[in-house]
């Protein structure tokens, strides 16, 4: 479809996926309404305002996830809302309800309530996560696909608060959309790697950087379901542009063991100095199999893992987060 004159909204626009989403939308010719937490914070705004096309077709709006009506101005006149804003952390939190659950669930509903008021709106694309897919009693049985849903009881029992927040937010979005005649498409990306546009180090990139630098596993079982940030952002756009898109989409480029990642990085960056015996220390945990059928039907073409890993490291070096 021609994007000229078409206005879309991206919430949480200073984030990792969202910054790329704004860039790719501008590159396609869309006019973008982008929300940030503070218009006075250059770390949230400067990299967006510096994008090609931003001067002509990007407007920034201040919005708060937990304030109802906060997104009304940003979504006004839009044909699509890309809701990416949500807190991300796998670390322990003092108050899961306040720090993760409320911003994710109430924030999603606040954005959808604003969207439901817009007559021009064609579709809402929600950024969920594979975290809302994997944590159920079917894990390690069969092929993971879009029919899998994380079990809130399992997440709560295991104190997986981020996973619980994404699961509850997605369920709330689906129910609200059904009740209010909103066309909702959900994107469930795997663990996101790739180059950063924003000047700050987001939680997942920081954790992956520590893994690269020290070998400390992000995931205890040493299995990584990965997707390039550019592919995740593109999937969002395709989910809007393709009229036949529906339901949810698992966006997973690769499922690999940490030893495989280290072998690639060892080839690209021998100075990392990985212990020569790391290949023999791999725990032979059964790898998950994730269906790519629905993602491919959307038109997503996945970046090769070696390219994503190299671009991740080069971006971290360029922004002086990593010395190598």
- pLDDT tens readout for residues 113-137: 999 999 999 999 999 999 999 988 7
Distance of CA 142 to the CA centre of its chain: 25
pTM here is 0.94
Query: Is residue 166 annotated as a catalytic residue, yes or no?
Result: yes
Which of 50-54, 85-89, 127-131, 307-311 is predicted with the least confidence, judged by mean pLDDT? 85-89
Tokens matching residue 277: 């015996």
Using an 8 Å Cβ cutoff, are 248 and 187 in contact? yes
For each of the domains in the chain, give its residue range(s) and CATH number, in order of start: 7-193+227-252+289-302 (3.40.50.720)
Q: Average pLDDT of 200-213? A: 94
Q: Are 225 and 288 in contact (CB under 8 A)?
A: yes
Higher pLDDT, 54 or 221: 54
Q: Which of 85-94, 97-106, 169-178 has the lowest mean pLDDT?
A: 85-94
Percent of the chain with pLDDT over 70: 93
Half-sphere exposure of 46 (CA within 13 A, CB side): 6
Residue of 23, 166, 262, 310 marked catalytic? 166
Q: What does the pLDDT look like over 164-187, one tens digit per residue? A: 999 999 999 999 999 999 999 999
User: What's the mean per-residue pLDDT of the chain?
Assistant: 92
Tokens standing for residue 280: 């023999």
Q: What integer pLDDT is reported at residue 138 of this predicted model?
A: 66
Q: How confident is the model at residue 283 (pLDDT cuts 50, 70, 90)?
A: low
Beta bridge partners of 7: 31
d(CA 34, CA 15): 11
């Amino acid at each position: 479809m021609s994007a000229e004159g078409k206005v879309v909204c991206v919430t949480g626009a200073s984030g990792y996926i969202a910054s790329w989403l704004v860039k790719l939308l501008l590159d396609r010719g869309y006019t973008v309404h982008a929300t940030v937490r503070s218009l006075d914070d250059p770390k949230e705004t400067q990299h967006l305002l510096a994008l090609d096309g931003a001067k002509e077709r990007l407007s920034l709006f201040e919005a708060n996830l937990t304030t109802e009506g906060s997104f009304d101005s940003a979504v006004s006149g839009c044909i699509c809302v890309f809701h990416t804003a949500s807190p991300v952390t796998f670390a322990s939190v003092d108050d899961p309800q306040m720090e993760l659950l409320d911003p994710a669930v109430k924030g999603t509903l606040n954005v959808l309530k604003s969207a439901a008021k817009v007559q021009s709106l064609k579709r809402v694309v929600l950024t969920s996560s594979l975290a809302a897919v994997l944590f159920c009693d079917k894990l390690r049985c069969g092929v993971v696909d879009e029919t899998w849903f994380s079990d809130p009881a399992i997440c709560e029992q295991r104190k997986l608060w981020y996973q619980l927040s994404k699961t509850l937010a997605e369920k709330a979005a689906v129910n609200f959309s059904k009740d209010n005649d909103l066309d909702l498409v959900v994107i469930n990306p795997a663990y996101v790697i790739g180059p950063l546009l924003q000047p700050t180090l987001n939680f997942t990139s920081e954790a992956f950087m520590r893994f690269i630098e020290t070998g400390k596993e992000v995931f205890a079982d040493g299995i990584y379901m990965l997707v390039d940030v550019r592919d995740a952002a593109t999937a969002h756009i395709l989910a809007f542009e393709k009229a036949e898109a529906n339901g949810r989409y698992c966006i997973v480029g690769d499922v690999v063991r940490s030893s495989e990642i280290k072998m690639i990085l060892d080839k690209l960056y021998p100075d990392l100095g990985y212990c020569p015996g790391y290949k023999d220390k791999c725990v032979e945990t059964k790898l998950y199999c994730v269906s790519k059928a629905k993602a491919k039907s959307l038109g997503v073409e996945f970046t090769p893992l070696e390219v994503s890993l190299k671009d991740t490291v080069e971006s971290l070096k360029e922004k002086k987060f990593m010395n190598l």
